[in-house]
Amino acid sequence: MDRFTALQVFRHVAELNGFAEAGRRLGLSPAAISKNIAELEAHVGARLINRTTRRMALTEEGKIYLEHVVRGLDALSEAEQALSPLRTGPSGTLRVSAPMTVTLTRLSAAIPRFLTRYPDIVLDLHLDDRRVDLVREGFDLAIRGSDSLEDSSLIARKLTVMRHVLCAAPSYFEAHGRPRVPSDLRSHDCVRFSLSGHADVWEFKKGGRTERVPVNARYSVTSSLAVRDALREGFGLSLMPKPYVEDDLREGRLQCALEDWGTVETTLYAIYPSRQHLAPKIQAFLAFLAEEFGRP
């Protein structure tokens, strides 16, 4: 027996005061109605409706039962209504995990725009360079660099590719000279971003050839922003994701070298648990990310 439909049948019969009428309303044959009621009575172990072919009335048990059943069914239908706002419009709490640096350099300035556009969304943004466990910690979405290989069953959506550039302050180049080929770096002061997957060896490509240069660094640090600060001070040179130093390059605080060599690329992904039944709030944030990282 499908208890859910049996209960609905019972309710309709009771409220419409008739088997046939209930059948019409529910799109079932009178036979089905009869069967459902009979089975429900067998399940409950009590007669719920006294009936002849022409007349029907709830028994005392039926009245008591109906009362509870109505409450129960209403609560359940309410359950689905409660979800409908979350399904139709982007709303609710959105828990996002993102690496510190990416966020500060490419995202956080735009967040207010996102929140203004979707007034019913509450954003809980955790800046954390750890590779968090999405489901364990209850995140709706995380932003990750490409180092972290594809996880398990999670969905990864590519946001952007960040080219890297070798750069330093003009003062540094004046003092130490400007490298012409990758191997020149052996005699330079490098600043090392220790969380990178390519922290110890830098690769440069040109016309099919690949040069690998061991990094000669006296300063290792776990934040690209700290690296950038060191570069600005003229302390050394480093391989930086280009977007992080865009402003510095434009305004002359930093300069590039070996620009005709290709270097590492970091791909940014948005990671989320499933593609099915994607909540509007998550869809909205994904669209926002795509738009944001789609800019030049």
Partner DNA sequence: ACATATTGTTCACCGTCAGAGGATAATCCG
Partner DNA sequence: CGGATTATCCTCTGACGGTGAACAATATGT
- In the chain, what are the helix, strand and coil shares in percent, each to the nearest 5? 45, 25, 30
**Residues β-bridged to residue 51:** 56
| Binding of DNA by 66 (CB under 7 A) | no
| Binding of its own copies by 87 (CB under 8 A) | yes
Residues 259-288 that bind its own copies (CB under 8 A): 273-274, 276-279
Residues 26-65 that bind DNA (CB under 7 A): 27-39, 51-56
The partner in contact with residue 30, picked from DNA, its own copies, none with C-beta cut-offs of 5 to 8 angstroms by kind, is DNA
Tell me which residue has tokens 């046939």. Answer: 20
Q: Minimum distance between the CB of residue 76 and DNA, rounded to whole angstroms?
A: 17
Sequence-distant (≥ 6) Cβ neighbours of residue 279 within 8 angstroms = 86, 87, 90, 92, 140
Residues 127-166 that bind its own copies (CB under 8 A): 133-136, 138, 140, 152-154
Evaluate whether 278 touches 287 at the Cβ level (below 8 Å). Answer: no
The partner in contact with residue 89, picked from DNA, its own copies, none with C-beta cut-offs of 5 to 8 angstroms by kind, is none
| Binding of its own copies by 72 (CB under 8 A) | yes
The partner in contact with residue 21, picked from DNA, its own copies, none with C-beta cut-offs of 5 to 8 angstroms by kind, is DNA
**Near its own copies by CB under 8 A: residue from 24, 35, 51, 253:** 51
Evaluate whether 279 touches 86 at the Cβ level (below 8 Å). Answer: yes
Rounded distance, CA 243 to CA 289, Å? 15
Rounded distance, CA 85 to CA 182, Å? 57
Query: Which candidate, 249, 175, 261, places its Cα nearest to that of 213?
Result: 261
Site string for DNA, 115-154 (x = CB under 7 A): ------------------x-----------------xxxx
Length of the chain: 296
The continuous run of DSSP H or E covering 57 comes out as strand 56-58
| Binding of its own copies by 102 (CB under 8 A) | no
Residue-wise DSSP of 1-31: --HHHHHHHHHHHHHHT-HHHHHHHHT--HH
**Residues β-bridged to residue 156:** 271
Q: Is residue 218 packed enough to be buried (19+ CB in 10 Å), middle (13-18) or exposed (0-12)?
A: exposed
The partner in contact with residue 31, picked from its own copies, DNA, none with C-beta cut-offs of 5 to 8 angstroms by kind, is DNA
Q: Which is nearer to DNA, 31 or 76 (CB)?
A: 31
Using DSSP's 3-state secondary structure scheme, residue 144 falls into strand
The partner in contact with residue 37, picked from its own copies, DNA, none with C-beta cut-offs of 5 to 8 angstroms by kind, is DNA
Interface residue list for its own copies (CB under 8 A): 2-5, 7, 41-42, 44-47, 50-53, 55-57, 59-61, 64-65, 67-69, 71-76, 78-80, 82-83, 86-87, 92-93, 133-136, 138, 140, 152-154, 273-274, 276-279
Interface residue list for DNA (CB under 7 A): 1-2, 5, 18-21, 23, 27-39, 51-56, 133, 151-154
